[in-house]
A and B are shown apart, each in its own frame.
Chain A
């Protein structure tokens, strides 16, 4: 069981403070860059500027689900609750970024494509990712035994991530005639000022991811600790009557 040493702990607090400052600074830089520094897109106009928030959120979302995938393998291999706490945190944050992508996308698509939504490969893949990882959180919520919950979550984290390339390929092949509209990948086709802001956007979202991860993992460990303390208290109260005690904790 993870026991917190001493007081509030200066180490994580300092890290969190540094990360927060970094996120705020990067966010201001990206906002400034997106609205004032980056060149105005010739055809799409100002609405294109949402790209600096939309695409980096998508990348951070993939990173988050990849971390959940790795944590799933880590948990099944070692059975250390820390992996589960991290995987859970990353899935939750990934889902948040996924939602940002899904909400900002239509605002851009409406004026540019003329529709709020189109069943194009990247969009559809993002939507399906959202469904899979919503399922991940639902299964967690409805599984009472914490140890079992961790195992189920790990399996979904692994299987769900394996599904991503297949989803992408199949939707793309299905909509074979749809033109690929945006030069998203890499930023190779971007004008220089645009590329700078795009990279700043990526840095912002990755820093935000790290910041939220530190917070959420800390919360997760606190939850585990609280559950452990509660179980110990219950066991202590009933020690004379039921020496075996109860194991399965409440969620």
Chain B
């Protein structure tokens, strides 16, 4: 299914990089990043290999939570943020694993590595595609969550969106790096969640606290949210930079 879908991807890559040597470096790389991202999204759009699985998995996590914890005894703002982020995190693991399993089938990574682009751009392209995939799933899950748990997401739309974006960037940054790594190991399906979850624990704490602050009206929580967002942004920057630099060594044959 993905083998024929990969051909336009490569073609797009050739278009992205061929005959553009005169362009400034940064523009050329940005174009390649965008092309790789669009290639992945197009494959997903045509095959719908992963998005439905991610969506139903996230939904299932919420259902399990609703039985695991008593939502009648606790309010949504107490249990909801943790539940949401566990669901997003687990759905993300599916995206990151799939993102590189896809390339293995037709040896797409080797093809892209032959392109005259920085390996870091390859990372950014993959990262962007994973980020968009995660955001789509989150956008689908949130309204459902509002219905299932009577959460008022319409009233806090923009702050909630900001919290989700900042933290999803971090998860995608770490997940893309480890997705590339564990796709080349035995038992990669097990190693990916272990490595990703262990590294992104600070991010998970921050995500839950910030989301709780969005839903809550306690001033103490709201005050801390700023510090959490700063920490999460620092996390994003550190790990995107580290992954951008080290990705080259991870995908090397």
Chain A interface residue count, Cβ-Cβ cutoff 8 angstroms: 30
B231–A132 touching, CB < 8 Å: no
- 1/0 per residue, CB under 8 A from B, across A148-180: the answer is 100110111011101100110111011010000
B194–A155 touching, CB < 8 Å: no
Is B235 among interface residues, defined by CB-CB distance under 8 A? yes
Residues of A contacting B: mostly: helix
Is A28 among interface residues, defined by CB-CB distance under 8 A? no
Residues of A within 8 A of B202 (CB): 163, 166-167, 169-171
Binds B, one of A18-26, A56-64, A139-147, A192-200: A139-147
A139–B191 touching, CB < 8 Å: yes
B231–A170 touching, CB < 8 Å: yes
Partner of A143, one of B184, B199, B231: B184
CB distance from B242 to the nearest CB of A (A): 5
B184–A155 touching, CB < 8 Å: no
- 1/0 per residue, CB under 8 A from A, across B230-250: the answer is 010011001100110010011
Residues of B within 8 A of A47 (CB): none
A132–B250 touching, CB < 8 Å: no
Residues of B within 8 A of A128 (CB): 198, 201
B191–A159 touching, CB < 8 Å: no
B242–A162 touching, CB < 8 Å: yes
Interface residues of A in 189-214 (CB under 8 A from B): none
B246–A142 touching, CB < 8 Å: no
- With both beta carbons as reference points, the residue of chain B lying nearest to A155 in the complex is identified as B246
CA distance A67 to B202 in the complex (A): 23
Is A76 among interface residues, defined by CB-CB distance under 8 A? yes
Is B252 among interface residues, defined by CB-CB distance under 8 A? yes
- Interface hub of B188, B201, B206 (most chain A Cβ within 10 A): B201
Is A103 among interface residues, defined by CB-CB distance under 8 A? no
Residues of B within 8 A of A170 (CB): 201-202, 205-206, 231
- 1/0 per residue, CB under 8 A from A, across B139-178: the answer is 0000000000000000000000000000000000010010
A142–B185 touching, CB < 8 Å: yes
Is B195 among interface residues, defined by CB-CB distance under 8 A? yes
B199–A132 touching, CB < 8 Å: yes
Instruction: Pick 17 A–B contacts, CB within 8 A, sort by A.
Output: A76-B249, A131-B194, A132-B199, A134-B194, A139-B195, A142-B185, A144-B186, A148-B184, A148-B252, A159-B199, A159-B243, A163-B199, A167-B202, A169-B231, A170-B202, A174-B209, A176-B224
Q: Other CB < 8 Å A-B pairs besides A151-B252, A170-B206, 18 of them?
A: A76-B246, A128-B198, A132-B195, A135-B194, A135-B195, A138-B194, A142-B187, A143-B185, A143-B186, A154-B246, A159-B246, A162-B242, A166-B231, A166-B238, A167-B201, A167-B202, A170-B202, A170-B231
Give A residues with C-beta under 8 Å from B.
76, 128, 131-132, 134-135, 138-139, 142-144, 148, 151-152, 154-156, 158-160, 162-163, 166-167, 169-171, 173-174, 176
